[in-house]
Amino acid sequence: MRIDPAQVEEVARELYVRALKVLPPDVKEGFARLAAGETDATAKRVLATMITNIRVAEDTGNMLCQDTGIPIYNVVIGRGVQIDGPELKSAIRRGCERATREHPLRSSVVHPITRRNEQTSCGPGIPPIHIDFGEEHDRLVIEMVPKGSGSENNSWLRMAIPAEGVDAIKTFVVDCVLDAGGKTCPPTIVGVGIGGTSDLCVALAKRAATRALGTACPDPEGAALEKSLTEAVNMLGVGPQGLGGDSTSFAVHVEIAATHITMNPVAVNMQCHSARRASAAITPAGVEYGF
């Protein structure tokens, strides 16, 4: 299957706008679950307002949150897909710029030293475009994640050592949730990366934070840790918006990679309650949009 870069550009544009406006069904279900179990009066009101906002965004065709985030594109290229690599990347970038200009969207991206905003949502290295390869034939999947800064500003890496064991990982996650308080716009998805190198560990945490609710870590030890940590962070009483309550996090997600015999790295990256993402699959049958 040969893919026209113009189609990729159009999909990249459309995905940014879609992601900003409609929350994935798993996140909506997450809200319903938290609202049903919440016991704190203020927290109940906060969750109800968040749920109302999801409806208002859909009814008015508006964005869920004013933070258009850092645009991130994750691409999975299936077997038999033919596309010029550099052209794929520049098509995504053009789509991102067009979404910003044509909608219009607030460009939330600046040069890190001059702080100059080009009003394109793009800049050196941004949007990050992550490319991976999949088993499926004739299928190119693009996922778009607008990563809000309230949650992204609360990101941590700790290069623990083997003698500190899994206890270091558990303690670190609990302390990160405490430090974040209301700044990350809870209820959050807490993404935890365990193992790898320092950069891989942080990337795993991001992947965990942006994974669909209801999915589990493929590693059984990681999946067990997800369960116990989800229960634990919701004992802390931080609550929605840090105003107290049971609903601090929808879930703790864990992703793992093997690591060095001398290392025990752990990273935490959070996703806010506006856990936005959208995806599209390009196949010979056309483009199918989803989450």
Partner 1 sequence: MAHHVLRPPITEAEARLLRVNDTVTLEGTLFGIRDANLIAMFDRGRATKFDWRGQAAIHTAPNVKRVPASPEHPTGYAPVCVGTTTSARMERFTRPLAERGLRIVVGKGGLAQGSLDAFREFGAAYLAIIGGTAALETTWIDAIEDVDLDDLHPESIWKFRVHGFGPLLVAMDSHSASLYDVVQRDSRARRAQTLAKLGVK
∠ Cα 76 80 84 (to 5°): 70
The distance of closest approach from Cβ of residue 212 to partner 1 in the complex, given in angstroms and rounded to an integer, is 18
From CA 75, how far away is CA 163, in angstroms rounded? 38
The residue type at 201:
C
> What is the nearest approach in angstroms of partner 1 to the Cβ of residue 196?
22
Interface residue with partner 1, options 6, 52, 112, 290 (CB under 8 A): 52
The least distance separating partner 1 from the CB of residue 251, rounded to whole angstroms, comes to 16
Using the minimum distance from each CB to partner 1, give the nearer residue, 10 or 164: 164
CB of 1 to partner 1, least distance (A): 36
Residue 221 interacts with partner 1 (CB under 8 A): yes or no: no
Interaction of residue 99 with partner 1, rule CB under 8 A: no
Q: x/- contact string, 17-46, with partner 1 (CB under 8 A)?
A: -------------------------x---x
CB of 149 to partner 1, least distance (A): 7
Q: In angstroms, rounded to a whole number, what is the distance separating the alpha carbons of residues 173 and 191? A: 9
Pick out residues in 122-151 that bind partner 1 (CB under 8 A): 148-150
> Among 1, 223, 243, 287, which residue sits at the site for partner 1 (rule: CB under 8 A)?
243
Does 278 interact with partner 1 (rule: CB under 8 A)?
Answer: no
| Least gap, CB of 256 to partner 1 (angstroms) | 17
Q: How far apart are CA 2 and CA 92, in angstroms?
A: 16
- Binding-site member from 4, 6, 37, 49 for partner 1 (CB under 8 A): 49
- Residue closer to partner 1 by CB (options 108, 279) is 108
Using the rule CB under 8 A, give the single segment among 5-13, 124-132, 232-240, 281-289 that binds partner 1: 232-240
Full DSSP string of the chain: -B--HHHHHHHHHHHHHHHHH---HHHHHHHHHHHHH---HHHHHHHHHHHHHHHHHHHHT--SSS---EEEEEEEEEET-B--HHHHHHHHHHHHHHHHHHTT-----B-TTT--B-SSS-BTTBS-EEEEEEEEES-EEEEEEEE-HHHHTSEEEEEE-GGGHHHHHHHHHHHHHHHHTTTT-SSEEEEEEEES-HHHHHHHHHHHHTSPTT---SSHHHHHHHHHHHHHHTTS---GGGSSSS-SEEEEEEEEE---TT-EEEEEEEE-SS---EEEEEETTEEEEE-
CB of 288 vs partner 1, minimal distance in Å:
26
The residues in 147-176 that bind partner 1, with binding defined as CB under 8 A, are 148-150, 153, 167, 170-171, 174-175
CB of 216 to partner 1, least distance (A): 18
Per CB under 8 A, residues contacting partner 1 are 42, 46, 49-50, 52-53, 56-57, 60, 62-68, 103-108, 115, 117, 119, 148-150, 153, 167, 170-171, 174-175, 178, 181-185, 228-229, 231-233, 235-244, 272-274
